[in-house]
Amino acid sequence: MQQIVPSYYTKFHCIGSACRHNCCIGSEIDIDPDTAAFYRTVSGELGRRLHTCIGHTGGVSHFMLSSDERCPFLNTDNLCDIILELGEDRLCNICADHPRFRNELPGRVEVGLGLCCEEAARLILGEREPTTLIGSTATDDAIITLRDEVIATLQNRSLTVPNRVDAILTQCGATLPPAYPDEWASLLLTLERLEPTWTTRLERLRDDFANTDLAAFDAYMAERQTEYEQLLVYLVYRHLANAADADGVAARAAFASLGYTLIHALGAVQWSEIGNFTFEDQVELARQFSAEIEYSDENLYILLDQLQ
């Protein structure tokens, strides 16, 4: 099976204890059957902990989070005791894979790094050269071919980013409903949210967008347009080829466009309030959008339904 990865893929390294949004906090991870069976054979103190800290629901084993939502094996230095004592190759599949995603497509599997990991976001948005897809060869799959053409459009640096977005919507027969970012913020405030700071961001976007000088923000960001290009290429690479049909392609192109529109507008509002918007601010904004929207199946499908 052909495996495709983005050109930045092999540069990724988890920053472990330095991570501000450690993925071992807040998510109850399922353990694959082979790893769960191995954990049952571990002896000693770690074996005892594995026995007491793994729960079973509907035949599926999972790590039971502590009262402060931490994985029970994440120690006070924010390092994983399973890695420290048994080695990285004894992690369950989900822990070993995160933040990677895999899309199984006709004749190929497309792998990437999820934007909900802050270090992945740093890597993706910080790439200055256009992202290429390593291992990709010509295909007769119409949706993958269109997806690759859409990525080429997004990387046409003779156009402004908004013009590139308009062009891909046309390419995919999509339209973004004619709502301003503050109206999208009102919709997003009706969805499930994880972090209070996401709610605060959306409320500011809803309340302050009308007073935000977008042209001045764009002038401030003039040398940093590749951040938006990489964001859009990531969203298109990850989501567009999963579409089942032309309507799905249009909805997913509109979703990428919406992701850009929101992150651009949220950045503009933040810049307008504090007079500064650093690369790290952009990374955090993109990470939060991904965690709140992309990594919530419920929220993602509500938005795709709205965009269909």
Judged by CB under 6 A, which of 8, 73, 99, 259 binds ligand SF4?
99
- Rounded to the nearest 10 degrees, what angle do helices 142-154 and 161-171 cross at? 160
Judged by CB under 6 A, which of 7, 15, 129, 301 binds ligand SF4?
15
Tell whether residue 22 is a contact of ligand SF4 (CB under 6 A): yes
Say which amino acid occupies 178: P
Judged by CB under 6 A, which of 4, 23, 236, 250 binds ligand SF4?
23
5 near 135, Cβ under 8 Å? yes
Q: Which is nearer to ligand SF4, 21 or 224 (CB)?
A: 21
Tell whether residue 119 is a contact of ligand SF4 (CB under 6 A): yes
Q: How far is 84 from 22, CA to CA, in rounded Å?
A: 17
Q: How far is the CB of 114 from ligand SF4 (least distance, A)?
A: 9
The Cβ of residue 303 has, within 10 Å, a number of other Cβ atoms equal to 22
Stretch binding ligand SF4 (CB under 6 A), from 16-24, 213-221, 235-243, 265-273 = 16-24
Q: How far is the CB of 13 from ligand SF4 (least distance, A)?
A: 8
Count residues binding ligand SF4 (CB under 6 A): 12
Say which amino acid occupies 4: I
Tell whether residue 92 is a contact of ligand SF4 (CB under 6 A): no
Tell whether residue 117 is a contact of ligand SF4 (CB under 6 A): yes
Tell whether residue 98 is a contact of ligand SF4 (CB under 6 A): yes
Torsion sign over Cα 303, 263, 296, 150 = positive
The Cβ of residue 156 has, within 10 Å, a number of other Cβ atoms equal to 12
Q: How far is 177 from 306, CA to CA, in rounded Å?
A: 9
75 near 69, Cβ under 8 Å? no
Q: Rule CB under 6 A: which residues touch ligand SF4?
A: 14-16, 19, 21-23, 98-99, 117-119
